[in-house]
């Protein structure tokens, strides 16, 4: 085992971009690994359900080009996790096509490892019947109907399949849906570094400079694993890791500040020590504790309908002051038309300037001089959604509320046409843990490029 193992994290999400100067500063330090997280459930269920990427192809290709050129030509492994944003089969294929395109353009030669994360529905059904699936907190029990209605089912892979691809000599490894720290921690754990420290380091590196001060999702950082600690440092002069920023990001997206579950075990931070230095932060004491049963998290989404929206604004103080009452009356009138015509759907009003961000959780009831009104309609098909949105928009536009002075119209529309067809709507349908003892879910596919 080397005295130090250097991990270069280019950006928080592949496709977000990074300053080439920061990245090359990291390359000049001869890193042992270039790893990047490419996905998240944060953008919502649409991208997993539809099989589309939430990052732009041009941005992803730009990020990958420099990573591949430097990694392949210098013999540094390049590992990408949760390809295409959600890590299902179409996302992985999409990312692979970009990699092959770059390789052809740049004349690169390497062994490519591709690790799908899709789980066959028959395996999920069998596991459900065998009692090997449990819901996460606030998630309903899984049913066969939900399994059937879900488009793509993926599982968050741990370190094992990445290690397998590395052992087979893959210089570039593309993963389907992966536990975020895995792409940073797998190879160093295989090299003999402490699993707790490697996983904790990966937990921070997966968001790159977001964990620094000031934070940025588009800048490169370095993590350096040692025998009893790891060290974090930024690669641009404009930001730095502090004790506070590192501790804060260790708790990021976690319900418990000490015990962070992942595939095959728990990261225990109850004895972790954070030490701030002038050029970064040193972390020690983090432990990985294997669980009795190896569990992975399943993720899936299912289609629930189609959406049409309208964006409008109002600065009429009479309308602004009575907006809740007006919208309630408009919705009642629209629903009576829907009942007459036999059209089903749901209407949502998002009032920006009052409670557009937090909705009913908003603690303050104050309203500004102007409001933005987002009319959202979801129905079983696009035509019905279009119809309901049109009726709602026109009813609100000319609704004769009490005290109205202007009769030319109540709304200001920034766009023409005013109604925007937003397409398919998905909801997360599977967010459950599955025991995988005896199942070989993640098999690397190897090809020479």
Res 251: pLDDT: 83
In the predicted structure, residue 232 carries a pLDDT above the cut 80: yes
Encode pLDDT of 134-176 as tens digits: 999 899 999 999 999 999 999 999 999 999 999 999 999 999 9
Q: State percent of the chain over pLDDT 90.
A: 92
Spans of all domains in the chain: 5-300+430-448, 316-411
Q: What angle do CA 436, 254, 287 make, to 5 degrees?
A: 70
Q: How confident is the model at residue 101 (pLDDT cuts 50, 70, 90)?
A: very high
In the predicted structure, residue 445 carries a pLDDT above the cut 90: yes
Q: Which residues contact 37 (CB under 8 A, 6 or more apart)?
A: 12, 13, 14, 81, 82, 178, 180, 183, 206, 207
Res 439: pLDDT: 83
What sign has the CA pseudo-torsion 91, 92, 93, 98? Answer: positive
In the predicted structure, residue 398 carries a pLDDT above the cut 80: yes
pTM above 0.85, yes or no: yes
Query: What average pLDDT does range 167-193 have in this prediction?
Result: 98
- Burial label for 44, CB within 10 Å (0-12, 13-18, 19+), is middle
In the predicted structure, residue 365 carries a pLDDT above the cut 80: no
Res 80: pLDDT: 98
Res 169: pLDDT: 97
In the predicted structure, residue 366 carries a pLDDT above the cut 90: no
Res 2: pLDDT: 84
Element (H, E) at 375: strand 371-379
Query: What average pLDDT does range 318-345 have in this prediction?
Result: 96
Res 252: pLDDT: 77
């Amino acid at each position: 085992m080397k005295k130090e193992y250097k991990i270069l994290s280019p950006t928080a999400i592949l496709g977000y971009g990074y300053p080439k100067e920061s990245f090359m500063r990291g390359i000049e330090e001869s890193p042992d690994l270039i790893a990047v997280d490419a996905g998240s459930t944060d953008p919502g269920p649409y991208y997993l359900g539809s099989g589309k990427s939430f990052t732009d192809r041009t941005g992803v290709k730009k990020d990958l080009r420099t990573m591949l050129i430097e990694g392949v030509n210098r013999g540094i492994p390049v590992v990408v996790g949760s390809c295409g944003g959600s890590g299902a089969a179409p996302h992985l294929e999409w990312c692979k096509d970009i990699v092959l395109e770059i390789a052809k353009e740049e004349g690169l030669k390497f062994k490519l490892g591709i690790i799908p994360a899709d789980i066959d529905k028959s395996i999920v059904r069998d596991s459900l019947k065998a009692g090997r699936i449990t819901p996460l907190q606030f998630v309903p029990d899984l049913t066969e109907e939900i399994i059937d209605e879900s488009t793509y089912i993926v599982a968050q892979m741990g370190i094992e399949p990445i290690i397998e691809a590395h052992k087979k000599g893959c210089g570039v490894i593309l993963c389907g849906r992966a536990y975020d720290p895995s792409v940073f921690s797998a190879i160093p754990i295989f090299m003999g570094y402490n699993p707790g420290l490697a996983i904790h380091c990966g937990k921070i590196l997966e968001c790159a400079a977001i964990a620094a001060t000031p934070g940025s999702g588009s800048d490169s950082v370095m993590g350096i694993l040692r025998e009893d600690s790891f060290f974090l440092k930024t690669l641009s002069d404009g930001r730095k890791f502090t004790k506070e920023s590192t501790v804060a990001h260790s708790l990021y997206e976690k319900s418990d500040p000490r015990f962070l579950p992942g595939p095959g075990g728990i990261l225990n931070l109850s004895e972790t020590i954070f030490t701030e230095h002038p050029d970064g932060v040193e972390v020690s004491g983090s432990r990985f504790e294997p669980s009795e049963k190896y569990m992975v998290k399943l993720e899936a989404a299912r289609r629930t309908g189609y959406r049409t929206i309208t964006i409008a604004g109002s600065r009429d103080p009479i309308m602004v002051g009575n907006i809740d009452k007006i919208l309630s009356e408009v919705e009642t009138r629209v629903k009576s038309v829907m009942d007459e015509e036999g059209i089903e759907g749901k209407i949502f009003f998002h009032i920006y300037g009052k409670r557009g961000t937090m909705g009913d959780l908003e603690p303050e009831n104050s309203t500004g001089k102007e409001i933005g009104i987002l009319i959202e309609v979801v129905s079983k098909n696009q035509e019905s959604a279009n119809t309901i949105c049109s009726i709602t928009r026109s009813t609100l536009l000319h609704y004769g509320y009490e005290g109205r002075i202007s009769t030319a119209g109540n709304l200001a529309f920034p766009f023409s046409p005013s109604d925007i067809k937003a397409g398919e709507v998905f909801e997360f349908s599977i967010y459950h843990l599955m025991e995988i003892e005896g199942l070989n879910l993640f098999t690397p596919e190897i090809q020479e490029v």
